[in-house]
Structure formats: structure tokens, C-alpha cells
A and B are shown apart, each in its own frame.
Chain A
Amino acid sequence: MALKSSPVLFGWLTRLSRRNFSTSKALAAKPVAVRDALNQAIDEEMEKDEKVFIMGEEVALYDGAYKVTRGLWKKYGDKRVIDTPITEAGFAGIAVGAAFAGLKPICEFMTFNFSMQAIDHVINSAAKTFYMSAGKVPVPVVFRGPNGAAAGVAAQHSQCFAAWYSHCPGLKVLMPYSSEDAKGLMKAAIRDPDPVVVLENEMLYGVPFPMSDEALSPDFVLPIGKAKIERPGDHITVVCAGKAIDTALEAATTLAGNHGIECEIINLRSIRPLDFQAIARSISKTHHLITVEQGWPQSGIGAEICARVMESSAFFELDAPAWRVTGADVPMPYATTLEAHALPRAQDVVAAATAVLGNKISAASSQ
């Protein structure tokens, strides 16, 4: 699917230029699309560990609905790259069962919208079994696929599951943004002994990000549960993950240019476990906080972060209440203009940051 907006490109350019200033290695490095980084990660882990296999709809002969598994069926054959019928509850259950028995399945959902057909196996079978069995039955399964809003596919096909899955103890939930994130987190997910949900984003699949030599090596893996400072800054902490980082980066450039406001953008990478220390550290420097996510506001990721601030000494560091920038609290409409208004835009992040920094909170409606 075609990319809809320039923020994607914009975010990439920002990063590219920053990297060019700091390291010469990255300058030489070839940009790699997120899709290819994921492919690399799966390929390398399949090569390394015979127990790893991938199953899902259209992953083999068709090379994946979004071409993430391109070439893998040719390389590994029917035994390890398996096309399933359209039966999410069934094949997710099979993946979890295979993990019970010691294999390391990667279960692809064509999109996470369809994982709702199988959510019982993700939560009741995968997340809880290690605990219920008092540690006798580990469940090293990976559930992955594109998550969140794409473009022009309306309500049933456009929602973010970060809050849904990160609600559940027993699951680890990752949300890569860049190609480095994608590769490092996917490899970590496959190697991890627990069930891991990897929430990718269709709009980012085709976006090229420069990858360092280190990230290109087969040994590269990122730690689960550690956030990354995507852009350092002194004035306000902006916590986000996945596609929302593009929005935040674009806003940060505007804020720096027009208002002299420097945002510190935290790329969570991992939604569960959540790297609250990184957030708290940043707040103690900036004393201001906003969160940005595409999901709905109620009981969302931003809500969780704000609650943790309230429960900790980070609260005393804040000079103003924190604000959440989220998807609007409506099902996703199909019409182009409405769709654009349903998702957080850079201007919303700018508005939120200036409101929080200007302490204009009371002027806004209380919610």
C-alpha cells in the first residue's frame, strides 16, 4: 500500500541527517526497508535454529500478503514455511501447541485485526500456561503481523492492539519503528522463551532506514524492555512507539524551528515490559511529559504511562500535568478527511506540547 503522508519520509530524513553528523559508518550503510529487516531477522533465526518455523495465511507461495516472508518458502520449503487456511483460531492454537512441545513457532497474522479471531489462544493458551504449569510448560511462540491503522480500510481493519495485548501478564509486547528496531526486536522475540507479540506497521514496511554494520550482522539483537532515545531534547519528554514516532519527530522539528522547544523523543520499542526508568529519567530532565499513540485513549498506553508517573516520584518532577495525544475516540472512518482527523497528526503533538509547556491546561476542556 502506498505511503500516505510525508511524515514518514520526513522522519527518515531527520534521522539520516543526524546520523550523518555523528557517524561515518551509517553514511556508507545502505538504507534497508523495515520489511526487509524483518525478513532478515526471520531468515537468520531460521538458519540458526531448526526449531524455528513460520506459519500463517499466504506466507509461503504468495511470499506473504505484505511480502515480509519473501523468499523464505523457496529457501526452507513446506516443512518450515507453512500456508494455512483462513482459520486464525485454529492455526494460532496449533502454533501455541507446537511451542508447548518445544518448537519455536512464528505465527503470522495477516493483520492483527484478525488476531481477534484467535485472541483466546494468545491470552488463555499462550500467556498463562507457563504460570499455570508452575513453570513446567514454556511457550516460546511469536505472534507477529501489521498492527494499527493502514489507509482507507475503515473500522474493522484499522486498530491498534498495543493496549489490548500489553494488558496481559505473561505476554511480552514489542513495537518496532525503524529497520534496526524491526530486526533487533524480531530476533529477540524469536529467541525469547516466552510468548511475544510483535506489532508491526504496514505503513512503515516500505520505509527505508539506514542500518549500521552492527545491525546488519547476524549477531545483532536488541534487549526486550529497553527504550531508545530517538531524539534528545531538554524541554519536554515525548513518549511514543511505532508509527507514532514519525508524527512526534515531525512535530519536534516544528517545535524546534518555530518555538525553540526541544523535544526528547522516547521510542519505547517494548510496550511490555515498559521501560519506565527511561521515561522517569527523561522527565527529571525536561519536567514535562506528553505521550503519543495511534490507539484509543481509554485504558491506552499513554494512560498507563501517566498512571505510573502518578504512582512514582516522577510525579514531583513534573511542572505541569501530562497530556496524551491519541487516536480520536471513534471507530476508524473510511472517508479520507475523516480518517486523517481520527489519527494524531504532528499539529496535535505541537498543540499538546505547547499547551503543556505553556501551562495552558486549565484553558482546555477538562477530560
Chain B
Amino acid sequence: MATPSSTRSTVGTGSLFALGSASGGAIAGGMCSARQEAVAVGMQTAMRNIDSVITAYRCHGWTYLMGVNMLGVLAELTGRGSGCSRGKGGSMHLYARNFYGGNGIVGAQVPLGVGVAFAHKYRGDGGVCFALYGDGAANQGQLFEVYNMAKLWDLPCVFVCENNGYGMGTSVDRSSASTDYYSRGDYVPGLWVDGMDALATREATRFAIDYCTSGKGPLLMEMETYRYSGHSMSDPGTSYRTREEVQEVRQTRDPITSFKEKIINQELVTPDQLKEIDARIRKEVDEATKLSKTDPEIGVEELSADIYCNNLEDSIRGTHPGAPLKHIQVAVRN
């Protein structure tokens, strides 16, 4: 396995810590990805400018990695105007260049990702689409429909199952007849990857890109990871698993701790340098957090903005006939 020496991996290192601080931060809003960062960070480090991504509601880290700044992400969680979806999409619906969300319907993003892969092949641009989904989503029927079509048409799609052990309060063995998620694409070959190791996820992604761009069709990767916190803000995450289980993962498999150790032991970085990075990122996160709470919401006139790309209705109906709204255009049309 390569050592993290390129500029890219420095970015990766920073990102890993940045996501770590952000998800430990004080922002309220939906479902974060605490300690699943190694998946996104490792993958993004290996991805090329042409590749694309789609995922479910644990999309905050990905949005940042795909180029939206911290305020753009955090202000979306607080529903403010500086948010990357202007506060209209919220916690589950963030988008960026080559990043198609942010989807609240478990499993729905996977066929969409295959559609994005279809477009890569159709245009012949050499790009690969990564479609991420959870262990819970892995059981949705529509996944099996698109495994088939992706293979049938040899689409450049990488199915990435983030197995964090639970779908809400249901553990993998209570939801899945086979928990070998890497094997569930049948004729789509699968890899098992340690999702708590950013280097492993990076190398696996490199392999996947090589595989898909050589015209062999889709690939599946199961990334084993863990969710420290509850499923969402309203789930304490304690009624269906033990505190000891969470504690053990923290102590033995934490992706950030282990990556720090690795790069210190390899003398790629000194503990002081890491502290510096840590402090810098913490400051950046704190500032963005503060801004995301004071930033104003968009005006109510935007309630009826951008419903259609090409609006054909004279007026948009409000809550009663005496309160009509006007469709307005905020996003630039091209």
C-alpha cells in the first residue's frame, strides 16, 4: 500500500480531520457521519475530476469533499441563505459539482447513480459514478434491479455499501439474510474493504476506477465502518446495542486515531504539525458554525422560486386564492 505522500493525500489528511471536527461540532441537523469519514475521504482522494458521486442523507462530508466550503454545508444544516441549497434542501439535500445528493429515500439514490454512470458511458467521458448506500438500503429491491442493468450494459458504476452495522435500530443480522454485502451483487464482482482505514478505501477506489474504466462494467465495494452516534438527532442509539460495543470500536478502530498513529509512525508528520492542523481546522469549523447560526434565511418570496426550470404557470397558488405567489428565477439558467 502506498504511503500518503502526494499533495492529494495532504488534502485528504486535512479533510479527514476537518470532517472529524465538523461532525463532532455543535451543529444541530439531521444525520451526520461521525466516524464514517474514512470512507468518503479515502475515496475522494483517489477520484478524478471527471468522476461523480451520489449518496443518501449522510451527505455532509461528501459535499465538503466535492468542493462546497464549510459554511455552505453548515448553513444548509441551519437552513440559511449561505447554505449550498439556500436552505431549501436542508440536511438531507446537499449538492455540488459532480455530486448529486443527498437523498432522503433509502435506496433511491442507487438507481440514480446508475443513471449517472449511464450518462458517463453515453457521453464517453471516461468518468465513473460511485453510488453509496447503507447496509439497510442494501435490501431495497431497486438495488437488485440496477445491479442487473449495470452489468447487462457494463456501466461504469461502483456500488459502495457503507456497512455501519445498523439501519436505524436494526442490526445487520436482523435485516439481512446474508451480511456479506460485497457478494450481494451476484454477477457484479465485489470487494470487502476496511472502511475505517482511509488508505484502504483510497486504494480500493483506485482499483475500482481502473476496473470500471477498462470497460469491465460495474463493481461492488462493501466498506465496513461504524456509526458512533444514534441514527439521527432523535435517536440516543442505546436501546439496540451496548455502550461497550460503541466504546470498543472507538478504542480499537477509530479511523482518525489510527491514521494519526500511522502517519506519525512513518514520520510523515510530527505530532506538533498534527496539532497545528487540528487547531487550524477547529478554528475554521468554529467560525463557520458561528456564521451558519447568524446567517439570515432567504426571503419568503423564494418560497416559490425555481420550482420549474421553465415555469409556465402565470401564478403559483399560495395557501388560499387571496394569497397568490409569483414564480421567481434565482438559479442561473443556461
Residues of A within 8 A of B (CB): 1, 57-58, 61-63, 65, 83, 85-87, 89-90, 113-114, 116-117, 152-157, 297-298, 323-331, 333-338, 341-345, 348, 351-352, 355, 361, 363-367
- Interchain CB contact under 8 A, A335 and B297: yes
- Interchain CB contact under 8 A, A323 and B304: no
Q: How many A-B residue pairs have CB under 8 A?
A: 164
- Interchain CB contact under 8 A, A62 and B104: no
How far does the Cβ of A8 sit from chain B's closest Cβ, in whole Å? 18
Q: Say yes or no: is B126 at the interface (Cβ < 8 Å to chain A).
A: no
Residues of B within 8 A of A (CB): 79-80, 85-93, 103-107, 136-137, 139-141, 167-170, 174-176, 234, 239-240, 297-298, 300, 302-304, 307, 315-325
- Interchain CB contact under 8 A, A57 and B168: yes
CB < 8 Å neighbour of B318 from A83, A328, A333: A328
Give chain A residues whose Cβ lies under 8 Å from the Cβ of B317. Answer: 297-298, 326, 328-329, 367
Give chain A residues whose Cβ lies under 8 Å from the Cβ of B90. Answer: 152-154, 334-335
- Interchain CB contact under 8 A, A330 and B304: yes
User: With A and B bound together, what is the CA distance between A62 and B79 in angstroms?
Assistant: 30
Give chain B residues whose Cβ lies under 8 Å from the Cβ of A366. Answer: 321
User: With A and B bound together, what is the CA distance between A330 and B318 in angstroms?
Assistant: 8
How far does the Cβ of B239 sit from chain A's closest Cβ, in whole Å? 7
**SS of B interface (majority):** loop
How far does the Cβ of B57 sit from chain A's closest Cβ, in whole Å? 9
Chain B residue with Cβ nearest A247: B319
- Interchain CB contact under 8 A, A327 and B319: yes
CB < 8 Å neighbour of A86 from B89, B137, B319: B137
- Interchain CB contact under 8 A, B298 and A61: no
Identify 9 new A-B residue pairs, CB closer than 8 A, beyond the known A58-B169, A58-B170, A331-B307: A58-B168, A65-B168, A117-B140, A328-B319, A329-B304, A329-B325, A337-B297, A338-B302, A364-B322
Chain A residue with Cβ nearest B88: A333
- Interchain CB contact under 8 A, B170 and A90: no
- Interchain CB contact under 8 A, B89 and A154: yes
Instruction: From A65, A86, A344, name the one whose CB has the most chain B CB atoms within 10 angstroms.
Output: A86
- Interchain CB contact under 8 A, A156 and B319: no
How far does the Cβ of A163 sit from chain B's closest Cβ, in whole Å? 14
Give chain B residues whose Cβ lies under 8 Å from the Cβ of A61. Answer: 169-170, 174, 239-240
Give chain A residues whose Cβ lies under 8 Å from the Cβ of B104. Answer: 113, 153-154, 156-157
- Interchain CB contact under 8 A, B319 and A326: yes
- Interchain CB contact under 8 A, B322 and A352: yes
Give chain B residues whose Cβ lies under 8 Å from the Cβ of A324. Answer: 320-321
A-B contact pairs, 23 of them (CB 8 A): A83-B175, A86-B107, A87-B140, A114-B105, A117-B105, A117-B107, A117-B140, A152-B90, A156-B92, A323-B320, A325-B320, A328-B317, A328-B325, A329-B325, A333-B303, A335-B86, A335-B88, A335-B298, A336-B79, A338-B303, A344-B319, A364-B322, A365-B321
Give chain A residues whose Cβ lies under 8 Å from the Cβ of B323. Answer: 348, 351
- Interchain CB contact under 8 A, A86 and B92: no
Give chain A residues whose Cβ lies under 8 Å from the Cβ of B170. Answer: 57-58, 61-62, 83, 85
- Interchain CB contact under 8 A, A341 and B174: no
How far does the Cβ of A118 sit from chain B's closest Cβ, in whole Å? 10
User: With A and B bound together, what is the CA distance between A348 and B322 in angstroms?
Assistant: 9
**SS of A interface (majority):** loop
Chain A residue with Cβ nearest B85: A334
Give chain A residues whose Cβ lies under 8 Å from the Cβ of B300. Answer: 337-338, 341
Give chain A residues whose Cβ lies under 8 Å from the Cβ of B80. Answer: 335
How far does the Cβ of B150 sit from chain A's closest Cβ, in whole Å? 19
- Interchain CB contact under 8 A, A330 and B103: no
CB < 8 Å neighbour of A330 from B136, B168, B176, B316: B316
CB < 8 Å neighbour of A83 from B174, B298, B319, B325: B174
Give chain A residues whose Cβ lies under 8 Å from the Cβ of B320. Answer: 323-326, 344, 348, 351-352, 355
User: With A and B bound together, what is the CA distance between A117 and B93 in angstroms?
Assistant: 19
Give chain B residues whose Cβ lies under 8 Å from the Cβ of A90. Answer: 141
User: With A and B bound together, what is the CA distance between A157 and B108 in angstroms?
Assistant: 13
Also in contact, A62 and B139, with CB within 8 A (given A326-B320, A352-B320): no
How far does the Cβ of A260 sit from chain B's closest Cβ, in whole Å? 21
Chain B residue with Cβ nearest A367: B321
User: With A and B bound together, what is the CA distance between A268 and B93 in angstroms?
Assistant: 35
Chain A residue with Cβ nearest B79: A335
Give chain B residues whose Cβ lies under 8 Å from the Cβ of A341. Answer: 300, 303, 319
Chain B residue with Cβ nearest A296: B317
How far does the Cβ of B301 sit from chain A's closest Cβ, in whole Å? 10
Chain B residue with Cβ nearest A324: B320
Chain A residue with Cβ nearest B318: A328
Give chain A residues whose Cβ lies under 8 Å from the Cβ of B88. Answer: 154, 333-335, 338
How far does the Cβ of A363 sit from chain B's closest Cβ, in whole Å? 8
- Interchain CB contact under 8 A, A1 and B105: no
User: With A and B bound together, what is the CA distance between A337 and B300 in angstroms?
Assistant: 7
How far does the Cβ of B155 sit from chain A's closest Cβ, in whole Å? 23
How far does the Cβ of A312 sit from chain B's closest Cβ, in whole Å? 22
Also in contact, A85 and B136, with CB within 8 A (given A153-B90, A328-B304): yes
Give chain B residues whose Cβ lies under 8 Å from the Cβ of A355. Answer: 320-322
User: With A and B bound together, what is the CA distance between A64 and B319 in angstroms?
Assistant: 33
Give chain B residues whose Cβ lies under 8 Å from the Cβ of A328. Answer: 303-304, 316-319, 325
A-B pairs with lowest CB-CB distance, top 4:
A334-B90, A62-B169, A335-B87, A364-B322
How far does the Cβ of B242 sit from chain A's closest Cβ, in whole Å? 14
Instruction: From B89, B303, B321, name the one whose CB has the most chain A CB atoms within 10 angstroms.
Output: B321
- Interchain CB contact under 8 A, B91 and A62: no
Instruction: From A298, A335, A342, name the one whose CB has the most chain B CB atoms within 10 angstroms.
Output: A335
Instruction: From B87, B175, B302, B318, name the one whose CB has the most chain A CB atoms within 10 angstroms.
Output: B318
CB < 8 Å neighbour of B176 from A85, A113, A298, A348: A85
